[in-house]
Copies of this chain bind each other. A is one copy, B any other.
Amino acid sequence: MPDVWIAGAGMTRFGKREENLPDLVAEAARAALAAARLEAPDLVVVAAMNPEEFIGEGNFASQIATHLGFAHVPALRVETATSSGAAAVYTAFAVVAAGLSRSVLVVGGEKMTHLPTPRVSEIIGRSIDRDERAYGATMPALAGLITRVLLAKTGVTLKEISQVSVKNHAHGALNPYAHFQEPVTLAAVMESRIVADPLRLYHCCPISDGAAALVLSADRTPVRIAGIGHGTDTLAVRYRDSLVSFRATQDAARAAYRMAGFGPERVEVAEVHDAFSPFELIALEDLGLVPAGKAGAATLRGETALEGRLPVNPSGGLKARGHPLAATGIAQIVELVWQLLGQAHGRQVAARVGLAHSIGGLATNNWVTLLERVS
């Protein structure tokens, strides 16, 4: 299989944006195309979780292609709930690796802040098993339940979970693309209002608008996609073997490391899916980046901070950079590209290998992507 390279990366600032979704997507796409010095790609892969209900638009790949001025460039849409961006990267990767296209624009975005929060929660909540929904489960409710199990069955503490938020806000404060660009104190996190006991407001990512884009290429660039893995699990949380780890992440990581030919020991920077702060601790262990049972302590010790042994979410993560659903899986890789190329001004870490981890639904459809700087 031929190597697949990243030729360009770009994104919009995440947050509450007044622009419509096609304009946000175009802003990100143009930035990535400019970075790749590419006029038009051979294919556009669009990621959007639910443009039908968020903005009332269908046939969204064609809409985006037309809006970008690429009406005659083939375009298709890929969706795996909140990990749709990562799924779109995988699809583009396959198309380039198969030799079907030389250059593919991958662009994802979501626009949600114009809707009332209960409506956004309802739409996102459709990612949950129907029977669990019928009993009132929402994403934060299930995340709260998982956090309760985590606290009860492992050594993880609420202080460790809260430190994830403190760290990611500190990183976000250095990132001009972040939804929240201000630090928070541990006390502020631990005293913020309850969302789904024991999860508080500052343990949860915000509702954000935004878009992110990549150009994947068959032509050599300094950064290659070393591995991509995909893992899935039962839609119903009640059928899982474990609630303190996510099998979908473990399976995705195993597949990505296998393709790359190396393991977690080579990863020097990671962007992980902290839609809820405890999920970052679960991910670090599922990904093999810290030993089992040690993620909380490592976080408290600062190992995963910008200046630590393994910087995690230097962008601010979903917590502080924000989470425009289908944009997120792409934005994680955008951040890694910038980090590997030394372009992460003000929050730069030293790394040649980066890992991106994206969760779809309540960990039903997860992806791990490994990037390597080779020149």
Chain B positions within 8 Å of A74 at CB level: 230-232, 365
A22 to B64, CA, bound (A): 29
A123 to B365, CA, bound (A): 27
For residue A52, CB closer than 8 A to chain B, the reply is yes
For residue A50, CB closer than 8 A to chain B, the reply is yes
A365 in contact with B98 (CB, 8 Å): no
Chain B positions within 8 Å of A66 at CB level: 129, 234-236, 364
A229-252 CB mask vs B (1 if < 8 Å, else 0) is 011111110010000000100010
A74 to B2, CA, bound (A): 22
A36-69: which have CB < 8 Å to B? 43, 49-50, 52-53, 56-63, 65-66
A68-93: which have CB < 8 Å to B? 71-81, 87, 90-91, 93
Chain B positions within 8 Å of A236 at CB level: 66
How many A residues, CB 8 Å from partner?
58
Chain B positions within 8 Å of A61 at CB level: 79-80, 365
A323 to B48, CA, bound (A): 25
B50 in contact with A62 (CB, 8 Å): no
Is chain A's binding surface mostly helix, strand, loop or mixed? Answer: mixed
For residue A309, CB closer than 8 A to chain B, the reply is no
Chain B positions within 8 Å of A65 at CB level: 232
Taking the nearest CB of chain B, how far is it from the CB of A53, in angstroms?
6
A3-44 CB mask vs B (1 if < 8 Å, else 0) is 000000000000000000000000000000000000000010
Chain B positions within 8 Å of A98 at CB level: 1, 93-95, 97-98
Chain B positions within 8 Å of A233 at CB level: 71-72
Taking the nearest CB of chain B, how far is it from the CB of A114, in angstroms?
16
A123 to B247, CA, bound (A): 36
B126 in contact with A58 (CB, 8 Å): yes
- Given A59-B364, A62-B364, A94-B94, A77 and B80 contact (CB-CB distance below 8 Å): yes
For residue A354, CB closer than 8 A to chain B, the reply is no
- Given A78-B78, A97-B100, A360 and B62 contact (CB-CB distance below 8 Å): yes
A95-135: which have CB < 8 Å to B? 95, 97-100, 123-124, 126-130
Taking the nearest CB of chain B, how far is it from the CB of A42, in angstroms?
10
Which A-B residue pairs are the 10 nearest by beta carbons? Answer: A58-B126, A59-B127, A97-B98, A74-B230, A62-B364, A98-B98, A59-B81, A71-B234, A66-B235, A94-B94
Residue numbers of A with Cβ under 8 A of B are 1, 43, 49-50, 52-53, 56-63, 65-66, 71-81, 87, 90-91, 93-95, 97-100, 123-124, 126-130, 230-236, 239, 247, 251, 360-361, 364-365
Can you list 9 A-B contacts (CB < 8 A)? A58-B126, A59-B235, A59-B360, A59-B364, A66-B129, A74-B365, A78-B91, A91-B91, A97-B99
